[in-house]
Amino acid sequence: MPKTDEEKKIDESSKIDLTGQVSLNTVRISDSNKPPIWMWFSVAGLILIALLVIFVLPVLVNRYQLPLEPRIDISQIQQTSSTDSATREISPFEQAQRARQRKEAQDVLAELLRLQSELEQLEVASWAILEFDSALETAGLGDNFYRDQNFAKATETYTEGLAELQGILNSVETVFQNTLRQAEDAFGRKDAVTATDEFTLAVLLDPSSEDAEIGLKRALVLDQVLTLIDSAEQLLEDNALEEAKHVYEEVVSLDNYNESARQNIDQIKQLILEADFSRVMSRGYELLQIGDAEQAIVQFESASSLGVSEQQAMAAIRQAENEIANAKITVIREDIVSSENQENWHNAVTHYDSVLEIDSNIVFAVEGRDYASKRAQLNDLLESAITGPDRFYEDDVFQQTLDIYYTGREVEKQRGGPVLSDQLDQLEQLLETSQIPIKIQFASDNLTDVTILRVTNLGLFENTSVQLKPGRYVAQGKRIGYRETRTEFVVGFGQTPNIVNVLCTERIVPTNR
């Protein structure tokens, strides 16, 4: 019986092994020159690799074609055909056509499997199980055609299944919208379990949906939130505002999108502010009642800063300020009366100004300041006239002073006082004496031109006399080539000089310019 190819290869391998053994024996050397043992292992490894490359690799290449798909064994097809008494041989063209059709079927199947996997990841069984099973059943029919090597029919059937799966996948957006709506309805009914399930599916169908993600977060804590809200409402009924606010804040920490809880927090804060406002205002009125208006204002200002009924707080502040102002005005008014009784009109004006700073519309202060101001002005004019009678010899000064005197006498009749009367008596005497001339002697050198300023020119003389009213005078002397001279003197008031000398004695030295 002839040997097969594999038996021949084994025989040849055995021969090689034997030859190798002989060659190894023939190269033995003396023990002193024996190679190290690792060298023998290296040589054996190289021989093993060579055997694998020569005998095993060709078998694998002949049996498989890329990509890792079993190569068609023509001999097996021929043997099968001869066994089935179908002696017809398959042509290379027909074989290629079958390979192409099989490849097409495999491509469609690969896409079908991809869609199947994608839908399974979307948990299609929870929202389109009937359609999904129908599509898989259609794909299973394609497997039957594929096993019968009817690749064209298999491709057609796979394509039908692929189209059904694609239709399911295309309906994801619609299913998502329906699921999201059902989830929101369940959330509105406070059905936490259903809302959680529906929102979970919605997130799975569209992971990018912010509404679905937020809804799922809220649904997961819905039961806790509802329990807290019940507790907060009970606390509100008991008027435990701070505790209720803390509970609603806990609700918001669990469900950051709970607008109702946020609104309740704002309302409770407002209620707390109103309660604080009432408490502070009550304290302010208590202080105002006992006369401590300044501390009352502190309380009212604190209430105003709360932002609740600010107008009410400002009205209370004005009331307290009025009481403080009235108290101050009462004290100042006593000072005004004292100043007016003493005829210290300048002090009275100052006190009236203090009242008007508090309230510029107080009638008594407006009218009183006007009168006090006029009396202070009259007082200043009288004092000035009394202390400066040396100008009464001037007709205009005398006439002005006389008008002041008569004005004072009229005021004295209406609202006089000892100070005003004394001033008028002094001025009267000064005015009377100021009009009685006194004879004044003048001496000069008959070379100096003498003039009494604002009175008369005396001219050149050695001795002369002039009748002058009491007052302060200036005698001026002029002479060509001499420096001008001035002599001041007072007539009357106990200061009348015996003689007034007026003459120029200092020669002016000419300069060469």
Write the burial class of residue 358 (CB in 10 Å: 0-12 exposed, 13-18 middle, 19+ buried). Answer: middle
398 contacts: CB under 8 Å, gap ≥ 6: 392, 431, 434, 435
> Mind listing the pLDDT tens digit for each residue in 177-196?
888 899 989 988 889 999 99
Contact yes or no for 392/431 (Cβ under 8 A) = yes
User: Is the confidence at residue 37, as pLDDT, over 80?
Assistant: no
Cross-strand partners of 450 = 459, 477
Share of the chain above pLDDT 70, in %: 82
> Among 376, 393, 501, which Cα is nearest to 448's?
501
- Report the range of poorest mean pLDDT among 49-58, 180-189, 403-412, 485-494: 49-58
Average pLDDT rounded to a whole number, residues 441-455: 94
pLDDT value, residue 45:
65
pLDDT value, residue 119:
86
Assigned token pair, 27: 């190269």
Give the Cα separation of 325 and 320 in Å (integer).
9
Cα dist from 344 to 220, 392, 416, 421, 483, whole Å: 87, 27, 13, 14, 51
With cut-offs at 50, 70 and 90, classify the pLDDT of residue 497.
Answer: very high
> Mind listing the pLDDT tens digit for each residue in 236-289?
888 898 999 999 899 999 988 889 999 999 999 888 888 888 989 899 988 888
* Domains of the chain, first to last: 1-20+38-72 (no CATH), 342-435 (no CATH), 436-513 (2.60.40.1120)
Highest mean pLDDT among 59-73, 114-128, 479-493 belongs to: 479-493
116 contacts: CB under 8 Å, gap ≥ 6: 136, 139, 165
pLDDT value, residue 88:
52
Average pLDDT rounded to a whole number, residues 506-510: 84
Whole-number average pLDDT of the chain: 81
User: Is the confidence at residue 407, as pLDDT, over 90?
Assistant: yes
pLDDT value, residue 349:
93
Average pLDDT rounded to a whole number, residues 306-331: 84
User: Is the confidence at residue 4, as pLDDT, over 60?
Assistant: no
Give the Cα separation of 421 and 321 in Å (integer).
42
Contact yes or no for 269/257 (Cβ under 8 A) = no
Average pLDDT rounded to a whole number, residues 135-159: 85
pLDDT value, residue 40:
64
Average pLDDT rounded to a whole number, residues 71-92: 49
User: Is the confidence at residue 78, as pLDDT, over 60?
Assistant: no
- Report the range of poorest mean pLDDT among 202-206, 238-242, 402-406, 462-466: 202-206
> Among 117, 110, 113, 109, which Cα is nearest to 145's?
109
With cut-offs at 50, 70 and 90, classify the pLDDT of residue 507.
Answer: very high
